[in-house]
């Protein structure tokens, strides 16, 4: 089953220096980061020279700026990693999975966050004040939905989780990628140690398990994009501390542990409970399939043992 889970295997005839400096999980993470940074820096420089990052640009133009930098750096960096270094087809980004896994998990993300909002409403925390029919929703969808969904999922699940799982196994990959994802939100407006821990558990672990079970980034991208769009663009709740104007004008009351405070509903125990419940279901699926990947050294020992002839 592990052979189906791991997208890449080091070429058996590769010399030792290539195994460490090119094909090891750490080396490939560094290669991706270097390429992505170089591409992002170059694209940002070109756009800045054209005045696209000035203070007078429109919200739509600023959204396209962010989208251009995020997607060019993450997508090109990932293609260089997969096609150039790993020398394989990026099947986890196959467009064939977009209308199935992508749309299915987009609907799932809408249902999950709508459940969170529904529970907050029943608890008397979420209140609708009116409808903002003239809200300029497209820039927010492009930034929080498309850009964050694709860029962050390629980095955190496509690179970090996948490569750490290949080296250290599934359990360590879940823990490290979740901590990275939570820590990446620590500098957001209104962020606290609690909000970062909540993001790590409810989103970091959930999205990593989605990738582990489906083995397609489109499932993670669909869920991530739907979560942000549903939270901000529809229900008018801050997305990871970012102030947004949604189709619904809303407010939340009650203690921060319930409402999530100024960071948004992601810092609420309701979101933590709902997402953890979904994560438990996904983990049960993984355990039932026996798809949990063991550390590389454990797999090598097993392979040697299985290859040893018995008398």
Give yes or no: residues 236 and 263 share one domain.
yes
Give yes or no: residues 62 and 141 share one domain.
no
Helices and strands (H, E) in the chain, number of each type: 15, 2
103 lies in a domain? yes
Residue 309's pLDDT is what?
A: 53
Per-residue pLDDT of the chain (311 residues; tens, 9 = 90+): 455 678 899 998 999 999 999 999 999 999 999 999 999 999 999 998 888 877 788 889 999 999 999 999 999 999 999 999 999 999 999 999 999 999 999 999 999 999 999 999 999 999 999 999 888 899 999 999 999 999 999 999 999 999 999 999 999 999 999 999 999 999 999 999 999 999 999 999 999 999 999 999 999 999 999 999 999 999 999 999 888 889 999 999 999 999 999 999 999 999 999 999 999 999 999 999 999 999 988 776 554 444 445 54
Give yes or no: residues 163 and 298 share one domain.
yes
The closest of 214, 209, 173, 183 to 29, measured between CA atoms, is 173
229 lies in a domain? yes
Number of folded domains that form the chain:
2
Out of 30, 54, 89, pick the residue that ends a domain: 89
Residue 2's pLDDT is what?
A: 52
Out of 89, 111, 143, pick the residue that ends a domain: 89
Regarding pTM above 0.85, the answer is yes
Give yes or no: residues 103 and 174 share one domain.
yes
User: What are 249's strand-pairing partners?
Assistant: 130
Give yes or no: residues 122 and 138 share one domain.
yes
265 lies in a domain? yes
Give yes or no: residues 128 and 192 share one domain.
yes
Residue 304's pLDDT is what?
A: 46
158 lies in a domain? yes
Give yes or no: residues 76 and 195 share one domain.
no
223 lies in a domain? yes
Q: DSSP readout, 59-101?
A: HHHHHHHHHHHHHHHHHHHHHIIIIIIS-S--GGG-GGGIIII
Residue 20's pLDDT is what?
A: 93
Give yes or no: residues 290 and 179 share one domain.
yes
Residue 130's pLDDT is what?
A: 94
Residue 186's pLDDT is what?
A: 93
Give yes or no: residues 52 and 156 share one domain.
no
42 lies in a domain? yes
3 lies in a domain? no
Structural tokens at position 199? 């993001």
Domain coverage including residue 291: 94-307
Give yes or no: residues 149 and 98 share one domain.
yes
Residue 310's pLDDT is what?
A: 52
């Amino acid at each position: 089953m592990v052979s189906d889970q791991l997208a890449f295997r080091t070429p058996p005839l590769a010399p030792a220096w290539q195994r460490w400096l090119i094909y090891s999980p750490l080396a490939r993470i560094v290669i991706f980061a270097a390429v992505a940074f170089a591409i992002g820096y170059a694209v940002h420089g070109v756009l800045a020279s054209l005045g696209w990052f000035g203070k007078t640009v429109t919200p739509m133009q600023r959204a396209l700026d962010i989208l251009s930098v995020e997607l060019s750096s993450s997508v090109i960096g990932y293609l260089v990693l997969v096609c150039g270094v790993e020398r394989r087809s990026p099947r986890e980004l196959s467009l064939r999975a977009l209308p199935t896994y992508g749309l299915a998990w987009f609907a799932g993300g809408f249902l999950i966050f709508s459940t969170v909002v529904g529970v907050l409403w029943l608890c008397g925390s979420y209140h609708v004040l009116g409808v903002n029919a003239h809200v300029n929703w497209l820039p927010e969808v492009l930034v929080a939905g498309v850009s964050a969904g694709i860029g962050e999922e390629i980095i955190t699940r496509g690179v970090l989780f996948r490569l750490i799982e290949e080296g250290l196994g599934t359990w360590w990959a879940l823990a490290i990628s979740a901590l990275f994802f939570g820590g990446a939100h620590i500098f957001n407006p209104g962020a606290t140690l609690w909000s970062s821990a909540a993001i790590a558990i409810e989103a970091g672990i959930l999205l990593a398990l989605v990738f582990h079970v489906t083995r397609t980034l489109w499932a993670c991208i669909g869920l991530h994009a739907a979560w942000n769009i549903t939270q901000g663009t529809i229900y008018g709740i801050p997305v990871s501390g970012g102030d947004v104007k949604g189709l619904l004008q809303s407010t939340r009351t009650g203690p921060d542990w319930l409402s999530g405070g100024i960071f948004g509903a992601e810092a609420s125990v309701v979101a933590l409970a709902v997402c953890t419940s979904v994560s438990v279901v996904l983990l049960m699926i993984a355990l039932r399939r026996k798809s949990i990947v063991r550390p590389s050294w454990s797999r090598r020992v097993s392979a040697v043992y299985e290859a040893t002839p018995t008398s």
